[in-house]
């Protein structure tokens, strides 16, 4: 029985396994790690969303009722139109970012500036739209109350239809209130 020893020089090579472990470059491996971690992260978010939605199915808002508002078009029923607009803005700002990176690779400073400006404008429109939508959802026609515990309460009548706060809340600013203190509270 004979023994053969092979001496492989791995000094200075990535991971000590050569420059291409698993026949993939370092950049490709890191991209796959990113894609897998991103997929796992969003899978966790989607699973949490699904569990929350089905746990509170009787109080979960109906998208066709909640997402019907569009700025400057009050009183019209346009379900999910504004959500589609925001998705379009988000995708287009991603496209302009890719175009800015490509222009940067070609060392075209003017195009990088234009595309980055468009990306920033798209991002501002998207974030502003999210803020407007949330404010409309919380303080819209039907309104809601956020408790100190962070729960959001909406009110319904006996038939399950949402009721506006103005229909049953009475503001009484003129009434005298007793301030509670340590000795009387």
pLDDT digit string, tens, across residues 1-38? 566 655 555 555 555 555 555 677 777 788 889 999 99
pLDDT for 125: 95
Global pTM reads 0.52
Per-residue 3-state assignment (H helix, E strand, C coil) for the chain: CCCCCCCCCCCCCHHHCCCCHHHCCHHHHHHHHHHHHHHHHHHHHHHHHHHHHHHCCCCCCCHHHHCCCCCCCCCCCCCCHHHHHHHHHHHHHHHHHHHHHHHHHCCCHHHHHHHHHHHHHHHHHHHHHHHHHHHHHHHCCCCCEECCCCCEECCECCCCCECCHHHCCCCCCCCCCCCCCCCCC
pLDDT digit string, tens, across residues 135-144? 776 555 555 6
48 compared with 173, residue with greater pLDDT: 48
Asked whether residue 162 carries a pLDDT value surpassing 80, the answer given is no
């Amino acid at each position: 029985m004979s023994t053969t020893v092979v001496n492989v020089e791995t000094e200075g090579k990535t991971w000590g396994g050569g420059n291409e472990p698993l026949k993939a470059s370092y950049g490709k491996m890191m991209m796959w790690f990113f894609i897998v971690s991103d997929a796992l992260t969003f899978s966790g978010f989607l699973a949490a969303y699904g569990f929350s939605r089905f746990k509170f199915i009787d109080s979960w808002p109906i998208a066709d009722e909640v997402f019907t508002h569009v700025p400057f078009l009050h009183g019209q029923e346009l379900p999910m139109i504004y959500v589609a607009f925001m998705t379009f803005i988000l995708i287009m700002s991603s496209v302009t970012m890719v175009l800015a990176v490509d222009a940067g690779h070609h060392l075209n400073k003017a195009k990088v500036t234009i595309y980055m400006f468009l990306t920033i404008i798209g991002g501002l429109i998207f974030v502003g739209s999210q803020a407007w939508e949330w404010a409309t959802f919380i303080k819209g026609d039907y309104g809601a109350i956020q408790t100190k515990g962070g729960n959001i309460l909406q009110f319904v009548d006996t038939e399950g239809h949402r009721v506006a706060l103005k229909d049953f809340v009475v503001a009484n600013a003129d009434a005298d209130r007793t301030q509670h203190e340590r000795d009387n509270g």
